[in-house]
Amino acid sequence: MRNLCMTVNYDGSRYNGFQTQPDGNTVQDHLEKAIATLVGEKPKIHGSGRTDAGVHAVGQVFNFMTDSPIPADRWPLALNGRLPRDIVVTGAQNVPLEFHSRRSAKRKTYRYTINANQYADVFLRHMQLHHPARLNVQAMEEAFHHFVGTYDFTSFASRYSQKQNHVRTVLETRLEIDYSQTRPHTRDQGILHFYITGNGFLQHMVRIIMGTLIQVGEGKHKPDAIPGMIAACDRSAAGPTAVSKALTMWGVHYDDINFQDK
Amino acid sequence: MRNLCMTVNYDGSRYNGFQTQPDGNTVQDHLEKAIATLVGEKPKIHGSGRTDAGVHAVGQVFNFMTDSPIPADRWPLALNGRLPRDIVVTGAQNVPLEFHSRRSAKRKTYRYTINANQYADVFLRHMQLHHPARLNVQAMEEAFHHFVGTYDFTSFASRYSQKQNHVRTVLETRLEIDYSQTRPHTRDQGILHFYITGNGFLQHMVRIIMGTLIQVGEGKHKPDAIPGMIAACDRSAAGPTAVSKALTMWGVHYDDINFQDK
């Protein structure tokens, strides 16, 4: 018995999220099926975290126990040949038996992308929220930084969250603006990539943060309203849940294991 | 009567090319239908050139005559609201009555993209040829430059080309390599963007050039075999027609009109 750990990228557009659902058609289902056809075992894989339907991943991590003798570095190509084209395993390594993708994870990073140029990007429309109307980007960035810290994030969690404890630590927030497609003398505002790193995230947390930031950008809230929203511990204090397609799980960090997948 | 000229980006994945076909479902069909629902005329639009089924465009140009009084700068948003999400009009301007998108075009640029990293890019797989096996990129670049000049390109045209004259001028070839996703200590070779500019291109010409360059990269031909292939004026002297999805019409150039669409 060995413990194999892998990284996987996926375009979540066609899937009901990462984790197995009664309806099927999840990334986990496809991975388990590919592993089963490769080695004839019925593995149960453990993902570092769920992603919602439509959410993408670059460097999602999963692990599973196997008796297969296939060397770790042979697995990615072998699995990719058995997976749909929108799921690509990009790395595999042997890890200690006690390693668990979710429980061992120290930090996770997500990226949310708003295309604030006047026209949608036809090639990346499946992973951007298009918001051509004017946004106060500076206010959004200021509001974003108010999320850094250890708080009870009940206001920013789905009402259906089943977690007992809603205290999480956001370690870093960072806005990167890509002006490469911005045309001079237009109302183009760039492509806004919001990166957020934390020790864990509640259900819909990043999407509710983003829905709230968009309201800040639209002038509906001041940036310094964020601490009060957090303190309210009430979902109705925060903004709406932003659309899932613009969200990408951007990597998982462990203490002892280094994934060079990007 | 006025002559309106527009730029359009499209993801060609779902379409039978730009130009109207008996089977329908072309980009032109969708544009004409959107214009018809907007202004109640049945316009006939003129594209700067055809693109094959599956080929994309950034800055394709078309023009048409209209009696509509709608100001030019209102057209893009009005049409985009009536177009599928994978076709986006990005600019409109009034042009002289004698302007014709194809006949007035002086130069066109195409881009062909080969992902030579070990793993496919799940997010851009619809516009990249994935070639993880080793390529001699330097030889490909050298071969690419052999196409610059004025030649009879019969060897690099579809056998079904209906043009009388196969002489064309290739003005510039340029290779850009994107290493941003290249992981150290792997066989990743980067994402190769091949740009080619000419006064016009024959049917399948860029794709046959690329199919031949890939053979050069695989060591099947030396770069200096290209001049002989061109001189043969025989389709069978050149390589295969590379897959269409990796090809993007990258812009059209006119003497007097400047499109700032990128």
Give the model confidence (pLDDT) of B74-124 as tens digits: 999 999 999 999 999 999 999 999 999 999 999 999 999 999 999 999 999
* Secondary structure class of A154 (helix, strand, coil): helix
Task: Output B24 or B130, whichever has higher pLDDT.
Answer: B130
Q: Average pLDDT for residues B20-29, to the nearest whole number?
A: 91
Q: What is the pLDDT of residue A258?
A: 66
User: Between chains, do B10 and A127 touch, taking CB under 8 Å as contact?
Assistant: no
Of A48, A70, A104, the position where a domain reaches its end is A104
**Domain-embedded: residue B187:** yes
**Is residue B184 pLDDT above 90, yes or no?**
no
Q: Are residues B43 and B161 in the same domain?
A: no
Q: Are residues B35 and B80 in the same domain?
A: yes
CATH at A87: 3.30.70.580
Which range of residues forms the domain containing residue A50? Answer: 2-104
The beta-strand segments (E) located in chain A are 2-10, 46-47, 56-66, 87-95, 107-115, 129-130, 149-152, 167-178, 191-198, 247-253
Q: What is the pLDDT of residue A262?
A: 42
Of B88, B104, B120, the position where a domain reaches its end is B104
**Is residue A35 pLDDT above 60, yes or no?**
yes
Q: Flag whether residue A11 sits within 8 Å of chain B, measured between CB atoms.
A: yes
Q: Average pLDDT for residues B132-136, to the nearest whole number?
A: 97
Instruction: Quote the minimal CA–CA distance from A154 to chain B in Å.
Output: 33
> Pick from A86, A122, A127: which is nearest to B86 by CB?
A122
Q: Are residues A6 and A63 in the same domain?
A: yes
Task: Output B17 or B255, whichever has higher pLDDT.
Answer: B17
* Secondary structure class of B249 (helix, strand, coil): strand
CATH at B239: 3.30.70.660
Please count the residue pairs, one from chain A and one from chain B, whose beta carbons lie less than 8 angstroms apart. Answer: 60
Q: Which residue of B has its CA nearest to A86?
A: B122
**Domain-embedded: residue B152:** yes
Q: Are residues A130 and A212 in the same domain?
A: yes
Q: Are residues A115 and A222 in the same domain?
A: yes
**Domain-embedded: residue A262:** no
User: Between chains, do A262 and B184 touch, taking CB under 8 Å as contact?
Assistant: no
Task: Output B73 or A262, whichever has higher pLDDT.
Answer: B73
User: Between chains, do A119 and B184 touch, taking CB under 8 Å as contact?
Assistant: no
Q: Flag whether residue B13 sits within 8 Å of chain A, measured between CB atoms.
A: no
Q: Residue A261: pLDDT band by 50, 70, 90 thresholds? A: very low
User: How far apart are alpha carbons A96 and B242 in whole angstroms?
Assistant: 45
Q: Flag whether residue A74 sits within 8 Å of chain B, measured between CB atoms.
A: no
Q: Are residues B88 and B38 in the same domain?
A: yes
Q: Are residues B115 and B40 in the same domain?
A: no
Q: Residue B258: pLDDT band by 50, 70, 90 thresholds? A: low
Task: Output A22 or B108, whichever has higher pLDDT.
Answer: B108
Q: Are residues A79 and A90 in the same domain?
A: yes
User: How far apart are alpha carbons B254 and B256 in whole angstroms?
Assistant: 6
Q: What is the pLDDT of residue A255?
A: 86
What total of structural domains would you count in chain A?
Answer: 2
**Domain-embedded: residue A204:** yes
Q: Are residues B93 and B52 in the same domain?
A: yes
**Domain-embedded: residue B258:** no
Q: Which residue of A has its CA nearest to B184?
A: A260
Lowest mean pLDDT among A4-13, A84-93, A181-190, B251-260: B251-260
**Domain-embedded: residue A260:** no
Q: What is the pLDDT of residue A162?
A: 87
CA gyration radius, chain B:
19
Residues of B within 8 A of A90 (CB-CB) are 119
Of A56, A82, A104, the position where a domain reaches its end is A104
